[in-house]
Amino acid sequence: MKLIFAQGNPGLEYNKTRHNVGFRILDAYTEQHKLDWTTKAKFLADVAEFTEIGEKVLLVKPTTFYNETGRSARALVDFYKLDPTHDVLVIHDDLALPFGTIRVREKGSDAGNNGIKSLNAHLGETYTRLRIGTWNELRDKMGDIDFVLAKFSSSEIKRLQDDIIPHAITLIEAFCHGTLETTSHTL
């Protein structure tokens, strides 16, 4: 079984923010594959599921706020008896990476990301991460919170839809097939 876990905040006011890029990617994935979201209170999450190569795959958008997402991940990992090292892919924004960069890593520290800090506290540091770069020149003029909760510009939204999200979906599928490698792409 595979768990594809996106970082983000619940609520319409956060929909188009940098912090919710993981949610945007999973929403595009569910739309492309005609999947439906179901709220699962015991997992503190909205979940969509399907089978790929005979293996169950859960797409997850936690309903906790970003900084508490580890609680949701822990509930899922415990219930399904998953091994985060092999079974979990986390998709999250990364304000240290330039917009248009996607980096795949198998483990690591939180690097100041409070959502990753929560996940690391609940799962340990060894799980695969799909880091989506959100940095742009505005980052140097704004504090962290204001920047990650800001909305993408119209030109960034176009790049997200045309390049970044389709590439991220390809990487999710590679993870499901066991062929995802650590890498970095600039789109």
CATH number at 131 reads 3.40.50.1470
Alpha-carbon gap, residue 70 to 106, rounded angstroms: 17
pLDDT at position 18 is 96
Q: Strand 128-135's sheet: what is its strand order?
A: 38-40, 45-52, 55-62, 2-6, 88-98, 128-135, 101-105, 183-186
Q: Is the pLDDT of residue 125 over 90?
A: yes
Q: pLDDT tens across 136-174, in order?
A: 988 889 988 999 999 999 999 999 999 999 999 999 999
pLDDT at position 2 is 98
pLDDT at position 112 is 78
Judge whether 152 and 136 are in contact, CB under 8 Å: no
pLDDT at position 3 is 98
Q: pLDDT tens across 112-121, in order?
A: 789 999 999 9
The secondary structure of the chain, three-state, reads CEEEEECCCCCHHHCCEHHHHHHHHHHHHHHHCCCCCEEEHHHCEEEEEEEECCEEEEEEEECCCHHHHHHHHHHHHHHHCCCHHHHEEEEEEEEEEECCEEEEECCCCCCCCHHHHHHHHHHCCCCEEEEEEEECHHHHHCCHHHHHCCECCHHHHHHHHHHHHHHHHHHHHHHHCCCCCCEEEEC
Q: Could you tell me the residue range of the domain that residue 87 belongs to?
A: 2-186
Please report which confidence band the pLDDT of residue 7 belongs to, taking 50, 70 and 90 as the band edges.
very high
pLDDT at position 108 is 83
Q: pLDDT tens across 9-67, in order?
A: 999 999 999 999 999 999 999 999 999 999 999 999 999 999 998 999 999 999 999 99
Determine whether 19 is an active site residue: yes
- The pair phi, psi for residue 152, each rounded to 5°, is -70, 150
Q: Exactly one of 19, 33, 92, 185 is catalytic; which is it?
A: 19
pLDDT at position 140 is 84
The answer to pTM > 0.85 is yes
Q: For the chain, how big is the Rg over CA atoms in Å?
A: 15
Q: How many domains does the chain have?
A: 1
